[in-house]
Amino acid sequence: MAVVAGKSKTTAYLLWFFLGWCSAHKFYLEKTGIGILYLPTGQLFGIGWLIDLFTLGSQVDNYNLLHGLHEGPGVLQGLQSNNQNNQNIVVNVAAPTGTTPEVKISAEKQILALSEKSSSLSLKHIVSQTSLDMEEAEEAVKKLVSKGMAKEQVSSDGKLTYDFS
């Protein structure tokens, strides 16, 4: 672990006030690119120098935060360790447009929902009105009959129906 001294707001403001014309406060905060831009343009025609009056404190805070530094007792100090760097990565993934996730409803629930419309159902009616194929429908109806939720009925013409009343 290495102890790294943070940047001081007092030093930054003193550099800004006395040597701001040569971008000393920008170089102090290791903002070399903007420091070089400030030099030939006269601190962006004085506007940048004035803006720095109000933002220099937060620039120092941002520098210290970026370098893992925290405010200690009276002095800015920080402990930097490669082992203790916390990195949070957030990935936002949009759902494909035009599609909605398909919710799987059990065969029994589909049949019971259909029985709300008509208390007497045939396998043909169940298969045509649900997403079930013939085998799934037969298996689900047998479960419902075994649990006493439906009764098998054979009509006079030999058609098998299920009564859910």
Domains and CATH numbers, the chain: 2-82 (no CATH), 107-163 (1.10.10.10)
| CA-wise closest residue to 164 among 124, 118, 131 | 118
Q: 4 or 26: which carries more pLDDT confidence?
A: 26
Q: What is the pLDDT of residue 76?
A: 43
Structure confidence at residue 10 as a pLDDT band (50, 70, 90): very high
Q: What is the pLDDT of residues 114-143, one digit of tens each?
A: 788 888 888 888 888 888 888 888 888 888
| CA-wise closest residue to 25 among 41, 9, 37 | 9
Q: What is the pLDDT of residue 18?
A: 93
| CA-wise closest residue to 78 among 89, 87, 86, 69 | 69
Q: What is the pLDDT of residues 50-104, one digit of tens each?
A: 999 999 999 999 888 887 775 544 444 444 444 455 566 777 777 666 666 667 7
Please give the model's pTM, rounded to 2 decimal places.
Answer: 0.42
